[in-house]
Amino acid sequence: MSRSPLGSRHLIRDLNRSIVLNMIKEHGPIGRAQVARRSGLSPASITKITGDLLAEGGILETDTGESSGGRRPILLEINPTGGYVIGLKVTEYGVIGVLTDMTADVLEKQKDSLEGTSPEAVAACLASQVDSLCHAAGIPREDVLGVGVGLSGLVNASQCLSRQNPFLGWRDAPIGGLLQSHVHVPVYIDNDVNTLTFAERLFGHGRGVDDFIVVTIGRGVGLGMVLDGQVYSGAHGGAGEFGHTIVQEDGLLCDCGKYGCLETYVGESGLLRAAAECDDLPAVRSMDELIDLGLAGNKSAMAIFATAGDMLGRGISNLINILNPSLILISGEGVRAEEMLFDPMHAAVEKHTMPVLFPDTEILVDPWGDDAWAIGAACLVLGEVFRSPVQNAVPSAVPQMSG
């Protein structure tokens, strides 16, 4: 069936608006004439679209720019206070939450413990934190555009469903709908590594990069992918289980029930198990203690990280050989191990990557902070604000209900 002329006009209007908004986000402060040149839209269209965005509070006019002759141009940029979003990261122990403005700057941050692990109890805890964040920041609830939630395990973002959460024991938990019934604003959920990937795509190192991956190391080993400009989650949200790729036939038993997974050698539990089996190490109770031993020059601790780094590098070389990304970002709690882990990782990547592909990929280690997960969840909502109307595979929000 052919599209109606009215529907086509609406799509073109929304697409042009999205182009202008994203150009201001990517290149602002920027003048109208420059937006017109970059976008190919007519000056009249730019004037109309930016006028609407100014009236709605989505953008604002800032200082005047340099002139090559004639009147100095007025510059445009995203209005940070044009709306607010909330990001929530659910762990097995609690919730890390942030309230951010439209540029992902954190205005308020909180941590709360979970009083129960059922989906209903967690949803109630999340809703309570939404109220608390708004109150602490002095932001009216009606100014909150939506809530993003980052979860471990398999997530079906389009259905706002936690398919499997290894830490909370969930199977097919409708956490998005449960939370939305409390907060009455759009709710978006996704795997926590995907949320970090959204954040990098919008505001981080992945801004303007069409093919990059995010590898997280900590308790587990995760993977987020941006392929041809789109975050890739797989057919049912299960893509990116990098930690459960097999690196050792008949290797160590993994929590997933399989043997030889990358996570058993690089994840926190695997590293601590290796330390417990090492006769030359004192009793190690935490990753911090193991890292401190290695940084102090303990050769056995350093050897454990070297083995893990080599395994990680082999896995990353496979990703490069398969996906040919231009950028790999490594993040998560495990980056605290620094060169003990990353020197052998880089060596293994160079050794096992196809020579013609190795120079194509830049590898960056991201500084780590606890609130990064929650900021990533907030970017689920911001991603919807800046999303093109013609993009597919959109993480669906639970519909907003009248309150």
pLDDT of 277 higher than 80: yes
- In degrees and rounded to multiples of 5, residue 114 shows phi and psi of -85, 135
84-199+372-385 is classed CATH 3.40.50.1000: no
Q: Does the structure show a pLDDT above 80 at 6?
A: no
User: What pLDDT sits at residue 401?
Assistant: 40
Contact (Cβ atoms closer than 8 angstroms) between residue 360 and residue 212? no
Query: Matching CATH topology for 5-78 and 207-365?
Result: no
Q: For the chain, what is the mean pLDDT?
A: 90
Q: What is the CA radius of gyration of the chain?
A: 23
Confidence of residue 63 (pLDDT cuts 50, 70, 90): confident
Domain boundaries, the chain: 5-78, 84-199+372-385, 207-365
Q: How confident is the model at residue 205 (pLDDT cuts 50, 70, 90)?
A: very high
Assigned architecture for domain 5-78: Orthogonal Bundle (1.10)
pLDDT at 390: 61
Question: What mean pLDDT do residues 137-162 have?
Answer: 94
Average pLDDT over residues 44-59: 94
Vertex 346 angle, CA 270 and 371, to 5°: 60
Is residue 139 predicted with pLDDT exceeding 90? Answer: yes
Q: Give me the pLDDT at residue 92, please.
A: 85
Check residue 397 and give its pLDDT: 57
d(CA 254, CA 265): 9
* CATH class of the structural domain 207-365: alpha beta
Return contacts of 89-92, CB within 8 angstroms, 24+ apart.
Answer: 89/149, 89/150, 89/192, 89/195, 89/373, 89/374, 89/376, 89/377, 90/122, 90/126, 90/149, 90/150, 90/151, 90/152, 90/168, 91/152, 91/167, 92/117, 92/152, 92/167, 92/168
Is the link from the previous residue into 29 a cis peptide, with omega within 30 of 0?
Answer: yes
Average pLDDT of the segment spanning 316-345: 95
Q: Which two tokens stand for residue 27?
A: 């290149």
Kindly give the interhelix angle for 43-56 and 5-27, rounded to the nearest 10 degrees. Answer: 80
**In the structure, what pLDDT confidence band is assigned to residue 395 with cuts at 50, 70 and 90?**
very low
State whether residue 216 is helix, strand or coil. strand
How much is the pLDDT for 388?
75
Instruction: Supply the DSSP string of 47-116, one letter for each residue.
Output: HHHHHHHHHHTSEEEEEE---SSSSPPEEEEE-TTS-EEEEEEE-SSEEEEEEE-TT--EEEEEEEE-S-
